[in-house]
Amino acid sequence: MSAEKCDALIIRLTDFSETSKVVTCFTREWGKVSALAKGARRLRSAFEAALDLLSVCKIVFLRKSSGGLDLLTEAQLTTRFQPNGQDLGSFYAGCYVAELLSSLTIEHDPHQELFEAAVTTIRRLEQSRDYKIAVTHFELILLKEIGQLPVFECCIHCQKPIEHEQLWAYWIGQSGFLCSACRHEEHARVLIHATTIQLLHELSHGIDVLPDDLTLTPQQVKESRHILTSTITHIIGRRPKVLSYLSSL
């Protein structure tokens, strides 16, 4: 076993025994890590108050060489998630970020940019009343990092550029858009405006590209949700659980 020190965002906590917990973290250096925290349920433990959902911590864990859980030996709190007090939405939006990281990443597969994006998103949720943009932006960066970003440039069948037509159909199974000449009736039940597709494309370029004054029209929110919720549901194989608490997403 080797001891690894890293920055971690806590994305899941499960009671393991009367005194211990299994802590799932998304770390900067190692990607997702699930580790047993012995004694974490005791009032006075080695982890003090660091182990809360969406806390950012410095952790030390022992990597098991074959199978089994890693062992968490230290956790020191850097920042605690303080959702916007006026709005339960920002709390559930944080839980949604945690659920996506837990469901869509694999253990010990590092994605440094995704770690930065998750921490940036958590901070944005604390500051902003409109969690929809922060969450939409995070979903795009996550899909890009795991290689599942929809094709935003052109029709996936004939390569007609998005800007050449106003309304597009989204083909969930192929993560791409179809122009009026290429789509069948079954794809055309919901049509998406080119401007929404172009906005999502722009936001997918990086977590820092979010303009402070960006707002989404109700139509852009509805169309973005259609694309992103259906894509994520398709990849996970079920609808993310926290979405039922985020009524406007």
By CB under 5 A, tell whether 155 contacts Zn ion. Answer: yes
How many residues lie near Zn ion (CB under 5 A)? 6
By CB under 5 A, tell whether 162 contacts Zn ion. Answer: no
Which residues face 72 on adjacent strands? Answer: 61
CB of 152 to Zn ion, least distance (A): 14
By CB under 5 A, tell whether 158 contacts Zn ion. Answer: yes
By CB under 5 A, tell whether 157 contacts Zn ion. Answer: yes
- Considering only residues 180 to 239 of the shown chain, the ones binding Zn ion according to CB under 5 A are 182
By CB under 5 A, tell whether 101 contacts Zn ion. Answer: no
CB of 39 to Zn ion, least distance (A): 60
CB of 57 to Zn ion, least distance (A): 48
By CB under 5 A, tell whether 49 contacts Zn ion. Answer: no
Instruction: Pick the closer one to Zn ion by CB: 111 or 160.
Output: 160
Instruction: Pick the closer one to Zn ion by CB: 181 or 214.
Output: 181
Distance between CA atoms of residues 63 and 162, nearest Å = 47
CB of 159 to Zn ion, least distance (A): 7
CB of 182 to Zn ion, least distance (A): 3
Instruction: Pick the closer one to Zn ion by CB: 115 or 171.
Output: 171
CB of 64 to Zn ion, least distance (A): 50
Q: What is the DSSP string of the chain?
A: -EEEEEEEEEEEEEE-SSS-EEEEEEETTTEEEEEEETTTTSSS-TTTT--STT-EEEEEEEEPSSSS-EEEEEEEEEE-----TT-HHHHHHHHHHHHHHHHH--BT---HHHHHHHHHHHHHHHH-S-HHHHHHHHHHHHHHHTT---EEEEETTT--BGGG-SEEEEEGGGTEEE-TTT--GGGTTSEEEHHHHHHHHHHTT-GGG--TT----HHHHHHHHHHHHHHHHHHHTS--GGGGG-TT-
Instruction: Pick the closer one to Zn ion by CB: 9 or 178.
Output: 178
Instruction: Pick the closer one to Zn ion by CB: 60 or 154.
Output: 154
Write the CA distances from 123 to 80, 87, 118, 170, integer angstroms. Answer: 10, 15, 9, 32
Among 54, 125, 179, 221, binds Zn ion (CB under 5 A): 179
CB 118 within 8 A of CB 134: no
Joined together, the tokens standing for residue 46 give 């080695």
Instruction: Pick the closer one to Zn ion by CB: 111 or 187.
Output: 187
Instruction: Pick the closer one to Zn ion by CB: 157 or 201.
Output: 157
Scanning 115-123, 129-137, 174-182, 240-248 for contacts with Zn ion by CB under 5 A, the matching segment is 174-182
Amino acid sitting at position 71: L
What residue ranges bind Zn ion (CB under 5 A)? Answer: 155, 157-158, 160, 179, 182
